[in-house]
């Protein structure tokens, strides 16, 4: 009998405890934070990821021992709108040619749908070409940084990821420019073969002959996709065909850089 009474008492205590917990749930146990508070805390905890620093160097070509060439195209942008020669994109797509395209931030703003399309194609590598195409050696550190960071934002907006390559406007740079870019995770990319396509007097045939005769292993060729390469779209199919017949593979700048790193490790 005593065992039965003790058992009944214990059962009653357990029932009362369970009832009390149900009545006080949310005030005694760990309460749920308001959604606004959770969102604020989450936002505070997620810090922007800092870009990886890269070596502060300017690169103008790849390995001279490997028959690869990088065709690059600049989309220069200024305070005045510049164009877009979509014929170049069409040629590159139709010939399945890889290329690196350096986009200006203002150019992306003015041609957002085109920029999204270029960034969506896996054969293209997107680089940073500053926002307003200034003479970087003539402006302050903060202005240089702002030009690069603002363009990175535009590139992320259309492509989902930041650029890792940067081409200074007019090919002008110094140690200060290169170091600032490197601190932002950007490798400065120059070129060893300026096609001359912004010169209105450079005919289609002259452009073809000059680029194909001057190109060599590791060359980085610069042309323009913003409508300032007057005969580039006309010359590009022949340039691609002739270079391939000479045994060159047309690759991105990124591939040239990987080859350089591999070459350093084997020596």
Q: What is the DSSP string of 62-113?
A: --TTS-EEEEEEEE---SS-----HHHHHHHHHTT--EEEEE-HHHHHHTHH
Torsion of Cα atoms, 169 then 192 then 244 then 64, to 10°: -140
Q: Is the pLDDT of residue 102 over 90?
A: yes
Q: Which two tokens stand for residue 13?
A: 């205590």
Instruction: With cut-offs at 50, 70 and 90, classify the pLDDT of residue 20.
Output: very low
Q: Percentage of the chain surpassing pLDDT 70?
A: 79
What pLDDT digit, counting tens, does each position of 50-72 carry? 667 799 999 999 999 999 999 99
- The span from the CA of 245 to the CA of 71, in Å, is 16
Residues 6 or more apart in contact with residue 243 via CB below 8 angstroms = 69, 212, 215, 250
Closest to 152 in 3D by CA, of 67, 57, 51: 51
Distance between CA atoms of residues 112 and 248, nearest Å: 33
Residues 6+ apart with CB under 8 A from 96: 123
Residues 237-256: what's their mean pLDDT? Answer: 98
Q: Where are the domains of the chain?
A: 58-265
CA distance 110 to 154: 11
Question: For residue 10, how many other CB atoms are within 10 A of its CB?
Answer: 10
Q: End-to-end CA distance of the chain: give it in Å, rounded.
A: 92
Q: Would the pLDDT of 4 be above 70?
A: no
Model confidence at 46, pLDDT cuts 50, 70, 90, reads: very low
58-265 belongs to which homologous superfamily? Glycoside hydrolase/deacetylase (3.20.20.370)
Mean pLDDT of 189-210: 97
The residue with greater pLDDT, 201 or 38, is 201
**Under 8 Å between Cβ of 85 and 233:** yes
């Amino acid at each position: 009998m005593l065992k039965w009474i003790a058992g009944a008492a214990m059962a009653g205590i357990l029932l009362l405890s369970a009832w009390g917990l149900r009545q006080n749930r949310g005030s005694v146990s760990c309460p749920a934070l308001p959604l606004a508070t959770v969102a604020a805390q989450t936002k505070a905890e997620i810090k922007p990821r800092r870009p990886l620093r890269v070596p502060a160097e300017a690169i103008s070509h790849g390995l001279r021992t490997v028959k690869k060439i990088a065709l690059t195209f600049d989309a220069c942008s200024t305070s005045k709108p510049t164009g877009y020669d979509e014929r170049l994109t069409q040629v590159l797509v139709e010939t399945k040619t890889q290329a690196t395209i350096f986009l200006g931030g203002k150019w992306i703003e003015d041609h957002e749908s085109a920029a999204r399309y270029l960034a969506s194609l896996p054969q293209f590598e997107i680089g940073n070409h500053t926002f307003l195409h200034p003479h970087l050696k003539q402006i302050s550190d903060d202005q240089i940084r702002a030009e690069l960071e603002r363009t990175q934002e535009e590139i992320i907006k259309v492509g989902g990821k930041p650029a890792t390559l940067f081409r200074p406007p007019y090919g002008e740079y110094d140690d200060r420019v290169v170091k600032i870019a490197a601190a932002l995770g950007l490798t400065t990319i120059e070129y060893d073969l300026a096609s001359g396509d912004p010169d209105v007097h450079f005919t289609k045939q002259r452009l073809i002959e000059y680029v194909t005769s001057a190109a060599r292993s590791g060359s980085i060729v610069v042309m323009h996709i913003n409508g300032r390469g007057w005969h580039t779209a006309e010359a590009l199919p022949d340039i691609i065909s002739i270079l391939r017949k000479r045994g060159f593979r047309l690759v991105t700048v990124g591939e040239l850089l990987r080859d350089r790193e591999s070459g350093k490790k084997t020596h």
